[in-house]
Chain A
Amino acid sequence: MISPYYYQLLVIASINVIMALSLNLVTGCAGQLALGHAAFMGIGAYTAGILTSVYHVPFAVALVAGAAVAALFGLIVGLPTLRLKGDYLAIATLGFGEIIRVAILNMGITGGPFGLRGISKHTNLTLAVAAAVLAYLTMKRLMNSRFGRALTAIREDEVAAVAMGIDATRHKVLAFVISAAWAGIAGGLFAHWFRYLHPSSFAFSASVEILSMVVLGGMESLEGPVLGAAALTYAPELLRGVSDFVSRHRMMFYGALLVIMMLVRPQGLIGSGVKGLSISKLGRIHGVVRLPQMERVTQWLTAAKQRKHLNDSSVSTDSRVVEERLAGLGMSSGTGSRGTGIGSGGGEEHAGS
């Protein structure tokens, strides 16, 4: 039989896989950097833990309730913040994450700074792995759905996506809510494995660790976060006693890892090794982006025109812009464009002016 030590590591790895996959939906697929992901795990963990230990609710119900409450908070946080972009979104989610943590710290029912004790053990390896596999399959289906393609379009170029009739905010919020729900499930599993919860487990540094997992493995695939989560769960244990220096300064290496990955392999360990390849190209290679036929794009455009009640002249320019952007995206199949520039424009391009 597998030793309890490795059994526990596999349970933690499974929980981390769920966390990484759920963050990946928002950060990897939709391209929105969220820095408070651990807070949703905390909400799920505390909700489920309080339900089973204080109110003696069955574990399965508590787990689902944890996910529901986390999703609700995802909605509350996501609705206002996801209208923000880039840096602002990152800071806003960080701020909300800290507010949630301070709230847990100052509430009576959570045990406050003493933590929540007396939770019974319900999580086992089978359940944790099953949940991780389910999370993977859910994300896989999402990615291959119309919804997933819309998220990818938003990540690549939000203006073009909106012009094609995608309600960007709605899609982003929905992704955020689904992501929070899965983080809540991971939290519930966490609570009923360790039997003790403390607010410090869900602080900013925890969110950074999850982000590191996603970035290390690769944001453009689903295998990336899985690999990243597994590797960053196991590597520190592997380093115990082996290399004192590395294990002593682990956080320093996490920081360096994030920088180096961005410089050298922004697509993560998994992903094509060709440097400088745009995300859209990678997305196509990995089957994240399904290429719609040009006809469908035209249909979208017509629909977009009608929806937006645009006058003729602006439509013509707008559609030209959109077509250019689509070309850049590599979505118009014939051009063979590599799609540099677009989605990587940073702050350079003025849009809609």
Chain B
Amino acid sequence: MKSMNHMFDAHKNHTGTRPDGRKGDNGRNKGKKFWFSSLFTAGIALVLAAAMFLAGCAGSQSKERSGQADGGDKVIKIGMVGPLTGDYATYGQSVRDGVQTAIDEINAEGGVNGYTLQLIAEDSRGESTEAANAVQKLIDQDKVTAIVGAVLSGETATVAPIAQDAGVLLITPSSTAPGLTEVGDYIFRNVITDDVQARQLAEYAVSQLGCRKFAVLYANNDYGVALRDNFTSKVEEMGASVVAVESYLDGDEDFRAQLTKIGSDIDALYIAGYYTEAAKIAQQARRQGIAATLLGADGFYSEKLVELGGEAVEGSVFTAGFYSGDASEAVQTFVSNYKQKYSQEPDMFAANAYDTMKIIAQALAKAGNDRAALKDEMYSVKDYPGITGNTSFDANGEAVKDVVFLKVENGKFVRAD
């Protein structure tokens, strides 16, 4: 900070003296001026590089010192990266709060092998470049043992190679795009993937709900497209038909043109997207006389769906990895702890993040505070009984998890199966 100020001051002095010194001799000083400017720029670059370098040294030194002050090796740092601000802040904040809830519970029970867990959450603003900087910082400056994140699929795809190169466990509790864990053996995912939930819902809709004619309205992003492809192919495998496929963009408000094109002659409408748009689509569909059953994925799982959608979303069926109404003690403990701290109902992001942190803690207890050993230990997690069902990891680091079917009934989510 100090060096930056200094740089500006130094510069002001330059410009202060320049105009008088060169009045009316533009031609003669051409060459001189060129070199002056070049030198000046080189100077800026050097000062900047030096500032960063010094800040880097200072940063790591102070970090080392603070580590010792905390009692040397008695703290294990866990990083978290995701959008804490901006348009996607809700998702990132839920993940952070879910991880924090888990850490608080673990520390209250004495930590892991006598170590206290400490969360360092960094903001990505939903942008890949920011996420990359945040992960580099967590790894190099904070020396975290493992990272929970990133949140959006695009962010995770950007930061995964960085974590892999550095040999730091990175486990995303929310990015569902296919293939993310293929980057390397340090990359894990603990969330039901798009293909699994879309295919299971298609099967359920055809065999249990008896739907034959489907339409798909998808968000034109990785999530929506992956859901669309898997849902469509499974429906056709099952011998039913998808009669219309239309798209929209996140943030759109008017879906009437697409809905009119889809028409009302369908049994079910699969909305492959998030709850905000789903609620608007539901309302406009009802107004257009589309009475079909609405289907969705875990993007529906938010109280906002009912708040924004009202009557229109009644009877909707969707897949999820977590159900906060579950009677089990683990789920109720989590829900009450979370509510007490953040005074809101936890969503699926928070639940997955919570389970993820608990799984990391369990692996840490066996492997110790060692990045490589921790990674190896993660592969041996089998049927971990968490609040999001039983979780195992396959050879790619993909979670194998149960899917639950939920239904909107009288404005509340209830299990459909």
Give me the interface of A with B, judged by CB distance under 8 Å: 2-6, 8-10, 12-13, 105-106, 112-115, 117, 121, 129, 136-137, 140, 144, 194-196, 198, 200-201, 222-223, 226-227, 230-231, 234, 236-238, 240, 247-251, 269-273, 284-285, 287, 290-291, 333
Contacts and interface: CB of A to CB of B under 8 A. Distances in A.
Contacts of B53: 2, 6
B157 A5 contact: no
B158 interface: yes
Interface stretch (B31-39, B70-78, B283-291, B322-330): B31-39
Dominant SS among interface residues on chain B: helix
Contacts of B179: 117
Interface residues of B, number: 63
Contacts of B220: 105-106, 113
B37 A230 contact: no
Contact of B141 (A5, A113, A226): A5
B45 interface: yes
Interface in B127-154: 127-130, 132-134, 136-137, 139-141, 153-154
Contacts of B398: none
Contacts of A8: 132-133, 136
Contact of A194 (B37, B51, B126, B158): B158
Contacts of B22: 285
Interface stretch (B12-20, B104-112, B234-242): B12-20
Interface stretch (B95-103, B221-229, B341-349, B355-363): B221-229
A13 B225 CA distance: 34
B26 interface: yes
A114 B225 contact: yes
Dominant SS among interface residues on chain A: helix
Nearest to A251: B86
Contact of A10 (B8, B49, B140): B49
Contact of B225 (A112, A231, A271): A112
B372 interface: no
Interface in B148-166: 153-154, 157-158, 161, 166
15 contacts: A2-B53, A4-B139, A5-B141, A8-B132, A105-B220, A113-B225, A195-B158, A200-B154, A237-B137, A240-B123, A247-B85, A251-B86, A269-B11, A273-B15, A287-B30
A92 to B, nearest CB: 21
A248 B37 contact: no
Interface of B: 1, 4, 8, 11-12, 15-16, 18-19, 22, 24, 26, 30, 33-34, 37-38, 40-41, 44-45, 48-49, 51-53, 55-56, 60, 84-86, 122-123, 125-130, 132-134, 136-137, 139-141, 153-154, 157-158, 161, 166, 177-179, 220-222, 224-226
B26 A284 contact: yes
Contacts of A106: 220
A287 B8 contact: no
A216 to B, nearest CB: 12
A13 B133 CA distance: 12
Contact of B56 (A2, A129, A250): A2
Contacts of B129: 12, 194, 201
B297 to A, nearest CB: 15
From A140, A195, A249, A250, name the one whose CB has the most chain B CB atoms within 10 angstroms. A195
Contacts of A285: 18-19, 22
Given A196-B161, A200-B154, A249-B85, A287 B48 contact: no
Nearest first, the 6 closest Cβ-Cβ pairs linking A and B are A198-B154, A5-B140, A5-B136, A6-B56, A113-B221, A113-B222
A248 B26 contact: no
Given A144-B34, A291-B26, A6 B52 contact: yes
Given A113-B224, A115-B157, A140-B37, A238 B166 contact: no
Contacts of A114: 153, 177-178, 222, 225-226
A4 B142 CA distance: 13
A121 B19 CA distance: 46
Contacts of A250: 85, 125
Given A5-B140, A117-B179, 16 more contacts: A2-B56, A3-B56, A4-B139, A5-B56, A5-B137, A10-B49, A136-B41, A144-B34, A196-B161, A222-B41, A223-B44, A230-B48, A240-B122, A247-B85, A269-B8, A287-B33
